[in-house]
């Protein structure tokens, strides 16, 4: 028998979880969860390497693709789906693909993670190019689906990244960057939707958030490319414009309302008393990066 990977091991700390009272059960789970952030911390150098790959490709018009099966695939789809409202990205820019297709988001698809045929079909559908980045996610790192995806990506010449909780993951061989997060034995043996899944969510948050920061989707820690599609986000846009343009909320709200809640353009219109066309021209000349606009303005003064 092959060596059992750590996520499949039995956890001695939770061996009596089935005879523990309810508070005890959730306490045991919480104790295990508290180890995840420290495990992710150890992988920060590799996560940073991955961010540089992804953001570098973004700057050349590349896209980011997450591939995974089961929980890992669902987490990739979740992270991808949150980029358009958070950073006003085109839905094509970050995409999540799950083995077995959309039905697998809600229902387990038998054998999907073991299918190289499904991997090839999904890869071809996405028309992946050299400037794109492929990130494969798998707790064990040995699913045929993700390994086949990485092989195809390497053949295409695009950069590859993998996220796993298994140091000996098969994905490692085909990855330009291998992110290993040692989450160890789960509270319930083999239930990698728990600590391993939590670690994956944390890593994916970093990959997209840090990459978006590096291509100018924030100013300081403000979400300046937010897509204001509801009242909460419109209020956030008003607060952001008020803070950066140093104006009152009524002014910010009025200018935003006249500009389809375009935060960056509204900031420049208020701050420099210019019209929308001039604001957009300036932004374009600075690749849409607000800090560059301010730096250029400071040099002229």
Quote the CA–CA distance of 63 and 15 in Å, as a whole number. Answer: 44
- What is the helix (H) or strand (E) element at residue 136, kind and residue range? strand 133-137
Q: Token pair for residue 31?
A: 């104790």
Torsion angle in degrees (nearest 10) through CA of 73, 78, 84, 87: -110
Sheet strands side by side (includes 177-180):
94-98, 64-68, 133-137, 159-164, 177-180
Kindly report the CA angle at 152 between 147 and 153, in degrees rounded to 5? 95
- Active site includes 46? no
Quote the CA–CA distance of 103 and 198 in Å, as a whole number. Answer: 23
Q: Under 8 Å CB-to-CB from 18, ≥6 apart: which residues?
A: none
- Active site includes 113? yes
Q: Under 8 Å CB-to-CB from 226, ≥6 apart: which residues?
A: 85, 86, 87, 88, 233, 236, 237, 240, 263
Specify whether the CB–CB gap between 245 and 271 falls below 8 A: yes
Q: Catalytic pick from 8, 82, 116, 278?
A: 82
Q: Catalytic pick from 113, 116, 246, 295?
A: 113
Quote the CA–CA distance of 178 and 213 in Å, as a whole number. Answer: 22
Count CB atoms within 10 A of the CB of residue 178.
Answer: 21
Picking from 206, 219, 166, the residue whose alpha carbon sits closest to that of residue 48 is 206
Quote the CA–CA distance of 98 and 214 in Å, as a whole number. Answer: 27
Using the 8-state DSSP alphabet, how is residue 187 labeled?
S
Half-sphere exposure of 220 (CA within 13 A, CB side): 6
- Residues designated catalytic: 82, 113
């Amino acid at each position: 028998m092959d060596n059992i990977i750590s996520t499949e091991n039995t956890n001695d700390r939770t061996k009596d979880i089935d005879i523990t009272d309810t508070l005890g059960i959730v306490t045991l789970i919480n104790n295990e969860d508290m180890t995840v952030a420290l495990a992710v911390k150890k992988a920060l150098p590799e996560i940073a390497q991955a961010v540089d790959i992804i953001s570098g490709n973004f700057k050349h018009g590349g896209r980011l693709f997450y591939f995974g099966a089961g929980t890992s695939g669902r987490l990739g789809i979740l992270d991808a789906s949150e980029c358009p409202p958070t950073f006003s990205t085109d839905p094509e820019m970050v995409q999540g693909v799950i083995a077995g297709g959309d039905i697998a988001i809600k229902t387990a698809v038998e054998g999907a993670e073991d299918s190289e045929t499904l991997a090839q079909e999904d890869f071809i559908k996405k028309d992946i190019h050299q400037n794109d980045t492929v990130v494969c996610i798998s707790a064990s790192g040995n699913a045929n689906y993700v390994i086949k995806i990485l092989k195809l990506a390497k053949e295409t010449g695009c950069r590859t990244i993998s996220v796993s909780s298994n140091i000996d993951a098969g994905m490692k061989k085909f990855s330009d960057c291998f992110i290993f997060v040692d989450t160890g034995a789960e509270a319930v043996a083999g239930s990698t939707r728990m600590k391993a899944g939590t670690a994956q969510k944390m890593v994916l948050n970093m990959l997209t958030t840090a990459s978006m920061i590096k291509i100018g989707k924030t100013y300081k820690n403000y979400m300046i490319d937010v897509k204001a599609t509801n009242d909460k986000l419109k209020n956030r846009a008003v607060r952001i414009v008020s803070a950066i343009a140093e104006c009152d909320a009524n002014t910010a709200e009025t200018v935003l309302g006249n500009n389809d809640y375009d935060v960056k353009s509204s900031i420049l219109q208020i701050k420099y008393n210019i019209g929308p066309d001039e604001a957009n021209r300036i932004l374009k000349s600075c690749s849409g990066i607000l800090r560059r606009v301010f730096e250029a303005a400071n040099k002229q003064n």
